Amino acid sequence: MKIAVYSQSYDKSTKKVMQDLLDIGNQHNIKFYLESGFYTLLNINSNILSAENTFSSHKDLNNSFDLMITIGGDGTLLRSVSFVRNLDIPIIGINTGRLGFLATINQDLLKPEMSKILLGKYRIEKRTLLEVKIQGSKLINEFGIALNEVTIGRKNTTSMIKIKTILDGEYLNSYWADGLIISTPTGSTGYSLSCGGPIMSPLSQTLSLTPIAPHNLNARPLIISDKTKIELSVSGREKSHLLSLDSRIISVENESLITIQKASFKINLAYFDENSFYKSLRNKLLWGEDRRNL
């Protein structure tokens, strides 16, 4: 079995998880390939590794990999997408972070969970991605893709920005707000939810538009088909605004035409039955809990 491993940081939890993975690998003939930055962090901070195979970009991976494992929180899993891209390699996250809607493996149950992976006892969900283009600009590199959301936000000002929004060629609205979130179903339990956006089932073929602190209180979140072509342009007191794709942020000149569409490929997220989306909602959002008894 051939598994890629990615993490953004090093701490005691990461070290323990990596030690467990290496033990499991030795027992079951698993070949691990570590992302080069993570491999360097491990070598600097511990002596648990001998020579290991590494990868540093999407070009170093191929369809011969059985799995990508991330160690961290949801943000780490989101960043791993830039390595996997269109290779159809399933991604599963070991949660050493906090809430963890995407990174679902409990680090304390790593060994029994890995046993399920070795036996193929996991499911795959194909998750929609958003592709972003800026007309006449090379600010976004060859991977202008987001799994959770694309966000337009104000920059260097407390003043609101005006976000002109066109859907499939038809004018929708000009939002006066701090920003606008375009969310996939995967991202609907993240930033969008915290701004009052709707929760969408992962397999629903939808996107949502959620304004951030809109000036007009009747500007409400909107659910649209994921086949919709979204065109945005921003004006405001500053000369530029912020555009974020998940956790990657760039500065874009005002009046630039930003086009957002569903990407031509999807990401495979691996999960176990006991970590289904609806169970995660109940557990992490405390649905059905009587707070009076806590």
Catalytic residue IDs: 74
Backbone phi and psi for residue 277, each to the nearest 5 degrees, phi listed first: -60, -45
Cβ neighbours of residue 58 closer than 8 Å, sequence gap 6 or more: 82, 83, 84, 85, 87, 143
Hey, what are 124's tokens?
């795959």
Hey, what are 270's tokens?
């691996």
> What is the C-alpha separation between 283 and 14, in angstroms, rounded?
24
Hey, what are 191's tokens?
């930033």
32 contacts 21 by C-beta, under 8 angstroms: yes
Hey, what are 114's tokens?
């890995």
Q: Of the candidates 206, 254, 216, 208, which has an alpha carbon nearest to the alpha carbon of residue 232?
A: 254
Hey, what are 51's tokens?
């020579």
Report the side by side order of strands in the sheet with 222-225: 222-225, 206-212, 179-183, 149-153, 240-245, 248-253
Which residues, listed in sequence order, are joined to residue 252 by a DSSP beta bridge?
241
Cβ neighbours of residue 141 closer than 8 Å, sequence gap 6 or more: none
Single-letter amino acid, residue 146: A
- How far is residue 294 from each of residues 63, 200, 209, 279, 284, measured CA to CA in Å? 48, 28, 35, 20, 15
> What is the C-alpha separation between 96 and 88, in angstroms, rounded?
25
